[in-house]
Structure 1
Amino acid sequence: MDENRWLTPPEQRAWRAYVESATLLFDALDRDMQQDAGIPHAYYVILVRLSEAPDQSMRMSELADVTRSSRSRLSHAVARLQERGWVDRVDCETDRRGQVAQLTPQGLSALGEAAPKHVEAVRAYVIDRLSPAQLAALEEIGDTVIAGFTDPEASVAS
């Protein structure tokens, strides 16, 4: 690939629109979650992932992977959620070195209180602003970009 392959004007506009919209969206979601639940949006995502897991628990390493978080960042976040009584951390029964994060009833209740406002925000900021065709395109674009990071065949040559 040519090392000096610059973005064309349409590519540059698309890229900048994506970056700015993603930045604005996640700043707004984080601000809203701090205001509504007193936690960062990233902590809300941890609670959601645990609520969807079997037995509302997940190995810490797997939780880090599905939340796209470093192990140390996740460990810090889970410690903060433990302080609130929303998550417990227990030793893994099948691996003495591993730990499992488990959503507590208080955590599930806190998630239940935060979720409606979060969904309302997601609708207001994105979903309700898009036509069905735009929503389908957004999903396809997201899936394509994600595949580039998860499928070795789709990765970009360096």
Structure 2
Amino acid sequence: MPDAPSRPALDAARAQAWRRLMFAVQGLDEVLERQVQRDGGMPHAYYKVLVVLDAAPDGELRMSEVCGRLHFSPSRLSHAVRRMEDDGWVSRRSDPDDGRAFLLRLTDEGRALVERISPRQVAEIRMPVMGALDDAQVEQLDAIAATILDAIDGLAADDC
């Protein structure tokens, strides 16, 4: 059996930065998951869907757009949408411009839930993230996150 192609190792600085980023993101995700479960009775992934819709014009987007923005697989999004429809937070309908696509709409109940949970999300991230950074670091973080997201978007462009 042929050997797997060798991949260059990260240098020490990049390996350390990667580990710190990985652990910071995981730690923050755990904090936010607990908060949304406590305050909204839902997984954080569902809250993310609601937030994407809340920011959309008229609170509505194609499901493929939501999938792409959140980097969810279509099956993961479909499962979440079924549950959120049952809870009355979103509604789904066929796209009149493309009968193969579906539009996802934030309901009034879903919008009220976002408005109730969002201030608590902000409070959870204020100290460990935004409160720990000065203005220059916030600008750097924004630029770095945008660069990473652009690279990820390029990899996952055909997934949804």
Q: TM-score, length-normalised on structure 2?
A: 0.87
1:106 aligned partner, one-letter code: E
1:54 aligned partner, one-letter code: P
1:81 deviation in Å?
A: 0.8
Q: How does 1:20-99 map to 2 (within 5 A)?
A: 20-99=23-102
- Equivalent-residue separation in structure 1 for 2:132 and 2:63 (angstroms): 36
Alignment-derived partner of residue 6 in structure 1: 9
Alignment-derived partner of residue 111 in structure 2: 108
Runs in 1 of length 4+ with deviation above 4 angstroms?
none
Name the % identity: 35
1:70 deviation in Å?
A: 0.8
1:64-98, Cα deviation, whole Å (9 max, x unpaired) = 11121111100111111111111011111111121
- Equivalent-residue separation in structure 1 for 2:55 and 2:10 (angstroms): 40
Query: Of the two structures, which has the highest relative contact order with CA contacts closer than 8 Å and spacing of 6 or more?
Result: 2
- Equivalent-residue separation in structure 1 for 2:65 and 2:101 (angstroms): 10
2:52 aligned partner, one-letter code: R
1:50 deviation in Å?
A: 0.8
Alignment-derived partner of residue 158 in structure 2: none
Match of 2:126 among 123, 139, 142: 123
Alignment-derived partner of residue 139 in structure 1: 142
Q: TM-score, length-normalised on structure 1?
A: 0.88
- For structure 1, the 5+ residue unaligned runs are 153-158
- For structure 2, the 5+ residue unaligned runs are 156-160
1:37 deviation in Å?
A: 0.6
- Equivalent-residue separation in structure 1 for 2:82 and 2:128 (angstroms): 30
2:32 aligned partner, one-letter code: L
Please provide the CA RMSD for this pair: 1.7
Aligned length: 151
SS at match of 1:111: helix
SS at match of 1:36: helix
- Tell me: CA distance 1:126–1:81, structure 2 relative to 1, closer, same or farther (3 Å): same
